[in-house]
Amino acid sequence: MSELARIIEALLFLSSEPVSAAELAQVTGATDDAVEAALVELAEAFAAGTHGIALRELAGGHTLVSEPLAEEAARALLAKPRLATLTPAQLETLAIVAYLQPVSRPEIARIRGVNADSPVATLLDRNLIEESGRSQFGAVLYRTTTLFLKVFGLQGTSELPDVAEWDPSPEEQRELRDRLLAAGEARAGTGE
């Protein structure tokens, strides 16, 4: 398969909508004729009965579709519940747990400056965090789960981006922590 055909295959795989030949030419820098030849090459490579996917022309563009024989299995797979999008508060809470685990709900609330009950409950329900014991004061401690690693494509939490990339010096880290705590206290004091 030609390099251009492989690039177009990747673009069609990534796109959730059909992509026109003109757009494929624009993004690849190839001529219209070269794109048309690559699309013919892809159509031949994915001829009916040879693969689980096929190249189809739909809605003025080209797209990769599943073969009809996979329809029943695809419906069963896609009927499974999916992880809904997380809110900014949930993402913020998840980041705190990921970097500081094990961490308690009061610690999360202190860092965020607002009550953490709702985001923690949602993250527990979605199996992104789990209980991992109790602090010396009896508060439940939380850590991330295997599902968290899968969702974020990590082998382990050691692959999380290094916080030092954003806060390179201890002085800047202390200053940021103090500013965040002050902002959180101010926010909590105003009732927001």
Instruction: Assess if CATH 1.10.10.10 describes domain 3-78.
Output: yes
16-30, 95-109, 134-148, 166-180: which range is least confident on average?
Answer: 166-180
Measured distance between the N- and C-terminal CA atoms of the chain, rounded to whole angstroms: 59
Phi-psi category of 6—alpha, beta or left, where left has phi over 0 and alpha has psi -120 to 50?
alpha
Topology (CATH) of 88-160? Arc Repressor Mutant, subunit A (1.10.10)
Q: Is the pLDDT of residue 37 over 90?
A: yes
- Give start-end residues of each CATH 1.10.10.10 domain in the chain: 3-78, 88-160
Integer angstrom CA distances of residue 143 from 28, 168, 173: 44, 25, 23
Query: How is residue 97 written in tokens?
Result: 């747990």
User: pLDDT of 85-119, one tens digit each?
Assistant: 888 899 999 999 999 999 999 999 999 888 889 99
Prediction pTM value: 0.48
